[in-house]
């Protein structure tokens, strides 16, 4: 692979990848016309070389058209394989038709973008009913796990943690993080009734009274899942709970809701750039990108959209 490009807003993460991989970053600009259309302009890619585009996919709808145009432009201008580094992958939670007539967004989104790229590197995509990434994304997909970095952060900043999973789906991350730390863990049950309406049932945490509850989930969006788990903690526990999300999407009132429910520190990985992103996952992402960079050259898929 010869170089990286960063979609707007992804320059800081891409530059971390530059530092870890030694790959250079080339210029990419997206001009927004007054009518809302976009014009992509890239510094020319080296001919017949692989390139990677960095674009995290929170708030995805406005990012998709420029992203597809950039991938197609790089191919037209001579790039061989075009890869996507998307630290956060959108739409993975809508992985079934929950109600009649609904879109299965994970599969549709995966086919749409997967058809434009040759490979994908992402961090802990929400795999629930899909067990592997290729069930939704038809390409060479590589998953980076955040558990080691999350556990390292907890080990360095939290005394005597009790790891708490706010719902059954979090079991996979919670178990992994707790095992790395040699810490106890509990996993709650959740019923979701609406975007901001969830019930969380947590086992009694009083037996771990002296410990610091550390809630760990993959995504914090409305924050209501974390709020439900915070409300289930032993009220007599003396230590302020810590909330950790791999991906901090944060709806506008989410942080305020978490604070009101008693959260102490709120920390996320830097898969999405925000004030809570204190856990740096870029070295792990870079290691996977470097693996792909060394991989023998395969024929490009040519970006055939479905
Ligand atoms: C879904 O099960 C995910 O793992 C998260 O628990 C969920 O996306 C969090 O969403 P919110 O913050 O809106 O409750």
Domain 3-145+282-294, CATH = 3.40.50.2020
Atom of ligand 1 nearest to the CA of 224: 14
On the question of a common fold for 3-145+282-294 and 147-279, the answer reads yes
Write the residue with the smallest CA distance to atom 13 of ligand 1: 222
Atom of ligand 1 nearest to the CA of 223: 12
Residue 1 confidence (pLDDT): 86
| 126 alpha carbon – ligand 1 mean position (Å) | 10
| 133 alpha carbon – ligand 1 mean position (Å) | 19
Residue 292 confidence (pLDDT): 87
Atom of ligand 1 nearest to the CA of 254: 12
The pTM of this model reads 0.95
Model confidence pLDDT, tens digit, residues 233-255: 988 877 999 999 999 999 999 99
Q: Mean pLDDT, consecutive 10-residue segments, the chain of 306 residues?
A: 96 98 97 97 94 98 98 97 98 96 98 96 95 95 98 97 95 95 96 93 91 97 97 87 98 97 97 97 97 73 54
Listed by start position, the domains of the chain span: 3-145+282-294, 147-279
Residue 273 confidence (pLDDT): 96
CA distance linking residue 219 with residue 92, whole number of Å: 11
Place of tokens 């038709």: 97
For residue 135, give every residue at least 6 positions away whose Cβ sits within 8 Å of its Cβ, in sequence order, or none: 107
Beta strand residue intervals within the chain, DSSP E: 3-6, 25-26, 28-32, 38-42, 51-54, 82-86, 119-123, 140-144, 161-165, 185-187, 189-194, 197-201, 212-220, 242-248, 266-269, 277-279
Angle between helices 282-294 and 11-21 (to 10 degrees): 60
CA distance linking residue 46 with residue 1, whole number of Å: 10
Residue 306 confidence (pLDDT): 44
CATH architecture assignment, domain 147-279: 3-Layer(aba) Sandwich (3.40)
Mutating to test ligand 1, I would choose from 198, 219, 249, 276 the residue with most ligand atoms within 8 A of its C-beta, which is 219
Mutating to test ligand 1, I would choose from 220, 248, 252, 263 the residue with most ligand atoms within 8 A of its C-beta, which is 220
Mutating to test ligand 1, I would choose from 127, 218, 227 the residue with most ligand atoms within 8 A of its C-beta, which is 218
Residue 297 confidence (pLDDT): 61
Model confidence pLDDT, tens digit, residues 165-207: 999 999 989 999 999 999 999 999 999 999 999 999 999 888 9
Helix, strand, coil % (nearest 5) of the chain?
Answer: 30, 25, 45
- Ligand 1 pocket check for 212: Cβ under 6 Å: no
Give me the long-range contacts of 136-143 (CB less than 8 A, separation at least 24).
136/92, 136/95, 136/106, 136/107, 136/109, 136/110, 137/110, 137/111, 137/113, 138/110, 138/111, 138/114, 139/114, 139/301, 140/292, 142/288, 142/291, 142/292
- Ligand 1 pocket check for 221: Cβ under 6 Å: yes
CA distance linking residue 280 with residue 302, whole number of Å: 33
| 219 alpha carbon – ligand 1 mean position (Å) | 5
CA 90 from centroid of its chain's CA atoms = 8
């Amino acid at each position: 692979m010869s170089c990286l490009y960063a979609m707007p807003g992804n320059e800081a993460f891409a530059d971390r990848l530059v530092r870890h991989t030694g790959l250079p970053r080339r210029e990419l600009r997206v001009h927004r016309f007054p009518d809302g259309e976009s014009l992509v302009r890239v510094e020319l890619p080296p001919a017949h070389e692989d390139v990677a585009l960095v674009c995290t996919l929170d708030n995805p709808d406005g990012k998709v058209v420029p992203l597809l145009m950039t991938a197609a432009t790089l191919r037209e201008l001579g790039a061989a394989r075009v890869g996507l580094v998307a630290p956060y992958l959108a739409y993975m939670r809508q992985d079934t038709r929950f109600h009649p007539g609904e879109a299965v967004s994970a599969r549709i989104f995966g086919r749409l973008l997967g058809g434009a790229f040759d490979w994908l590197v992402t961090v802990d995509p929400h795999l629930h009913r899909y067990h592997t990434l290729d069930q939704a994304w038809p390409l060479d997909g590589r998953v980076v796990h955040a558990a080691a970095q999350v556990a390292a952060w907890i080990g360095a900043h939290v005394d005597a943690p009790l790891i708490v999973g706010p719902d059954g789906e979090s079991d996979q991350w919670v178990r992994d993080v707790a095992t790395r730390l040699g810490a106890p863990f509990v996993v709650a049950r959740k019923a979701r009734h609406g975007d901001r309406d969830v019930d969380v049932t947590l086992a009694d945490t009083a037996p771990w009274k002296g410990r610091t509850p550390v809630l760990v989930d993959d995504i914090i969006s409305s924050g209501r899942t974390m709020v439900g788990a915070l409300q289930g903690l032993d009220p007599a526990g003396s230590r302020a709970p810590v909330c950790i999300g791999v991906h901090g999407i944060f709806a506008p009132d989410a942080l305020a809701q978490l604070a009101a429910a008693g959260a102490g520190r709120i920390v996320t990985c830097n898969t999405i750039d925000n004030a809570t992103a204190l856990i740096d996952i870029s070295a792990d992402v870079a290691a996977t990108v470097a693996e792909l960079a060394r991989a023998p050259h395969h024929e490009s898929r040519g970006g055939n959209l479905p």
